[in-house]
Amino acid sequence: MVWEIFSVVGTIAFALSGAVVAMEEEYDIFGVFILGFVTAFGGGAMRNLLIGYPAQMFWLQTPLFLTAMLSITVIYIFPQLLKYWPKFEDIFDAIGLAAFIVQGGMLAVSIQASPAAIVMASLFTGIGGGIIRDLLASRQPLVFRREVYAFWGVIGGMCLLVPAVQASFVLQLCLWFSLLTCRLFAIRWQWQLPKRKWEYIRSK
């Protein structure tokens, strides 16, 4: 039940994120719904493809599909609600990111995937939807530029390689809380991973 609640929160946050970007780019209503859906579910689809999880299982998420559709519909009909979005976006996004990281990794664990697959499942479940959203909106993926984001997917996946964490829901919940806290701290204190700019000057 706990993971289901977190999944709902994450789905709403990611779906609204995609819908907001679509409206900023002045997409039509079809584009708004498509971008909202791929943001919410694109990461899970990428994960399933990477770890060889049966594709048909992706479609057994009717409650979450309806949740995403309702969220996008509400924000499309009542765009004035977006004035409250900046206050809660980061919190909802952090909750969903942490939950998807743990869930994605545990799904890979459940099918006895390799360690590398477990880490990649955690990473892409968390960030895949955001990457697809930005690419469809012709934007540079924010997950690689904003405060430490994608990095938490790798850390979460590596923690799930520990047998004790795999076997204990309590430890999984502790991992989720740790990832959530780290993400919020990264936002609050503007943590950034090292960056290097390379300028190439072509000789004439």
- Reported as a single tens digit per residue, the pLDDT across 124-135 is 999 999 999 999
202 pLDDT higher than 80: no
Task: Give the pLDDT score at 82.
Answer: 85
Higher pLDDT, 59 or 197: 59
32 found inside a domain: yes
Percent of the chain that is helix, strand, coil (3-state, to 5): 80, 0, 20
pLDDT, mean of residues 108-116: 94
67 found inside a domain: yes
182 pLDDT band, cuts 50/70/90, is very high
Distances (CA, A) of 137 to 17, 28, 74, 77: 12, 13, 21, 21
Hey, what are 106's tokens? Answer: 């545990």
What is the rounded CA–CA span in Å between residue 80 and residue 134? 23
Query: Taking the mean position of all CA atoms in its chain, how far away is CA 16?
Result: 12
86 found inside a domain: yes
Alpha-helical regions (H) of 25-148: 29-51, 62-77, 85-110, 115-136
88 found inside a domain: yes
Give just the sign of the alpha carbon dihedral 98, 101, 104, 107.
Answer: negative
Hey, what are 103's tokens? Answer: 């869930």
Q: How many domains does the chain have?
A: 1
pLDDT, mean of residues 167-196: 92
Q: Which residue has the tokens 């708004």?
A: 32
Q: Which residue from 115, 184, 196 is spatially nearest to 149, judged by alpha carbons?
A: 184
Query: Taking the mean position of all CA atoms in its chain, how far away is CA 11?
Result: 9
H or E element in which residue 196 lies = none
200 pLDDT band, cuts 50/70/90, is low
121 pLDDT band, cuts 50/70/90, is very high
Structural domain boundaries enclosing 121 = 2-189
201 found inside a domain: no
Residue 80 gets which letter from DSSP? G
What is the rounded CA–CA span in Å between residue 104 and residue 154? 12
202 found inside a domain: no
10 found inside a domain: yes
Q: Is 142 exposed, middle or buried (0-12, 13-18, 19+ CB in 10 A)?
A: middle
Of all residues in the chain, the percent with pLDDT exceeding 90 is: 65
198 found inside a domain: no
